[in-house]
Each structure stands twice: as structure tokens, then as C-alpha cells.
Chain A
Amino acid sequence: MWRFFHQWGSPKSFFELSGRCLPWIGGLALLTLFSGLLWGLLYAPADYQQGHSVRIMYVHVPAAIVAQSSYVLMASCALISLIWKMKLADVAFTTLAPIGGMVTALALLTGAIWGKPTWGTYWVWDARLTSTLILFLLYAGVISLRQFGSPTPQGGRAAALLAIIGVINLPIIKYSVDWWFTLHQPASFTLTARPSMPFEMWAPLLVCVVGTYLWMIWLWLLRMRVEVIKRESRSLWVKEALLIS
């Protein structure tokens, strides 16, 4: 266990290990997303009420799930970087913020597009939508705060603190559909109950969710590797790793 942390915690071993995993994760992400999206677009059934617009679910729900999970991951890395001043944790939360921001934007945009044929409007100021907009603003806040600091865990303190405080928003997003009257439908997936939709719908949805997670991990590793060699550009191992390959 400690060996594991030690290996992934040092920028040099992170660069070597992630370099070996990267092609596999990337290939798997592309394969999963391609088949999931094709399944949703061509083979999944239309909804008896919504018709074919229900196919937007296969891009909207994965984006929304990964948007929230990314926030948990980002805040955890921010906490580790605040407490232990670990270099790699600072790199991790810094590089995850734009990814989270992007998937949150995609969740909001696809949700708006789905809202028009389903609810008759692109946007309503209801609890689920508003709290997801706040999630996007939190990501934007973390990104801009991080720009001011130096590339050390100390330079990222303000951004890390904002990331941690913003965790309060996550239960609000999750329970917003139960606490307030809302147009938004309740959760599509829960760990405890059977899915409320038929197999023909939740199977491709699950594939798309897994694919989007893999994409997030792939992109996160890619971005972390860039940040690591930028920060360590003066050290010998970076020069060796780059000049040999």
C-alpha cells in the first residue's frame, strides 16, 4: 500500500507508470465510447412518450455523472495537497479542474437541448439545473484561482480551499430532485435499486457511463503528464526521458 503511494507519488515514477498505462486506457475509452454511443443512437428503443429525443440521455447522463465524480476526485486531491503538500496531488487537482468544467458544460448544454423537445424550454431556474450551473462556476473558480499561484502546492492553496468548500454543492445536486419541486426526473441509476428503465436502455447507458469515465481518466493522465514535465523541466530525469524517446 505505501509502496503504491510512494511509486505514484513521485513525479518521475508517475511519468513512467502512466506512460505505460496510457495507450491501454485510451484505446479502451475510444472502444467503449464508440460502441456505447452507436448503441444508443441506432439500437436502443425510442421512448413511448419522448420519442427519439430520449437518445440524448446516452450523452447527457454520463456527462452529468462524471461531472460530479470529477468534483469529488478534484476535492480529494486538493485536500491531500493542502494537508501533505504533496506535489503530485497539486498537479492532479489543477489538471482535473478543466476536465470537470468541460463535462459539466456538456451536461448543461445537452440538458438544455434535451429540455426543448421534452419540457418546451431550454432552461428553467429549478434546483437541479441551478445547482449544476453552480458546479460549473465552482470549476471555473478553481481554474482561475489556480492561475494566480506559483506551480507549487503552496501556490494552489486558495484554489484547493475553494475546491474543498464547494463539496457542499454535491449533496444539493443529488437531493435537489427530492427536496424541491422540479421538472428534472430522479436519478437514472442507483446502487441499491433495480434500474427503472428496460435493459435495452440501461445497458447502452452503462456502457456510455463507463466510456466517459475512461475518457476522463485518460485525459487526466495526459494533462498531468504535461504539467509534470513542465514543472520538472529542469530535472535530469525529464531531459533523459524526453531526449531518449
Chain B
Amino acid sequence: MGEGGVAHLVKFESWGEFIAMGGHGPYVFAAYGLVILGLVGMVLIARANMNAARETIRQRALIDEVSS
């Protein structure tokens, strides 16, 4: 699996063995998937909120400028 200096330290002989995880594959990947989804999702939501807040303030400032 993979190239590079640490490839021989990988605990799996093949991709198939890695996916199967000795029968525990569904549990292991479900747990990792949920965590990655949760961590990445929260950051993306926070960034979207920041952009939305910026846009609102920017537009309000433009309206203030026009009306004043």
C-alpha cells in the first residue's frame, strides 16, 4: 500500500485487508467518517456564517451611504 519510506510499517498487506479491518471495517470507517464529517462540517458552516455576516454588513453600509 502506497510508496515511500514508511510504507512497510503499514499494518495491512492489501487494500482489501485494510477495508475489511478483520471484520470490523464498517464500525471503524463509520466512526472515522462521522468524526471527519462533524469536524469539517462545523468549520465550513462557521466560514459560511462569516461570509454571510460580512455581506450583510457590507450591504447595510452601502445603503447607509446612499441614504445619507
| Interface residues, chain A, with chain B CB atoms under 8 Å away | 26, 33, 37, 41-46, 51-53, 55-56, 59-60, 63, 98-99, 102-103, 105-106, 109-110, 113-114, 116-117, 212, 215, 218-219, 222-223, 225-226, 229-230, 233, 238-239, 242-243
Q: Which of B6, B11, B39, B49 contacts A46 (CB 8 A)?
A: B11
Distance, CA A218 to CA B56, complexed state (A): 23
Q: Is the CB–CB distance between B43 and A41 below 8 Å?
A: no
Tell me if A's interface is mostly helix, strand, loop or mixed. Answer: helix
Q: Besides A53-B27, A109-B31, A117-B27, 16 other CB < 8 A contacts?
A: A42-B11, A42-B12, A43-B10, A53-B28, A56-B27, A59-B32, A59-B35, A99-B42, A113-B34, A114-B31, A117-B24, A219-B42, A223-B46, A226-B53, A233-B60, A242-B57
Tell me if B's interface is mostly helix, strand, loop or mixed. Answer: helix
Number of A-B contacts (CB under 8 A): 103
Q: Which of B9, B18, B24, B47 has the largest number of chain A CB atoms within 10 A?
A: B24
Q: Which residues on A sit within 8 Å (CB–CB) of B10?
A: 42-43
Q: Which of A55, A114, A116 has the largest number of chain B CB atoms within 10 A?
A: A55
Minimum CB–CB distance from A245 to chain B (whole Å) comes to: 9
Mask: chain B, 1-44; 1 = CB below 8 Å from A; 0 = not: 10000100111100000100111110110111011101100110
Q: Which of B21, B46, B47 has the largest number of chain A CB atoms within 10 A?
A: B46
Q: Which residues on B sit within 8 Å (CB–CB) of A219?
A: 42-43, 46
Distance, CA A116 to CA B17, complexed state (A): 21
For chain B, the count of residues having a C-beta within 8 Å of the partner chain is: 35
Minimum CB–CB distance from B13 to chain A (whole Å) comes to: 12
Minimum CB–CB distance from B37 to chain A (whole Å) comes to: 9
Q: Is the CB–CB distance between A52 and B38 below 8 Å?
A: no
Q: Which residues on B sit within 8 Å (CB–CB) of A59?
A: 31-32, 35
Which residue from chain B places its CB closest to the CB of A42 in the assembled complex? B10
Q: Which residues on A sit within 8 Å (CB–CB) of B39?
A: 33, 212, 215
Q: Which of B22, B24, B31, B42 contacts A102 (CB 8 A)?
A: B42
Asked if A43 meets B31 with Cβ closer than 8 Å, knowing A51-B22, A55-B21, A239-B57, the reply is no
Q: Which A-B residue pairs are the 9 nearest by beta carbons?
A: A52-B21, A53-B24, A222-B46, A59-B35, A110-B31, A56-B31, A51-B22, A113-B31, A52-B24
Minimum CB–CB distance from A131 to chain B (whole Å) comes to: 21
Distance, CA A33 to CA B38, complexed state (A): 13
Q: Is the CB–CB distance between A229 and B54 below 8 Å?
A: yes
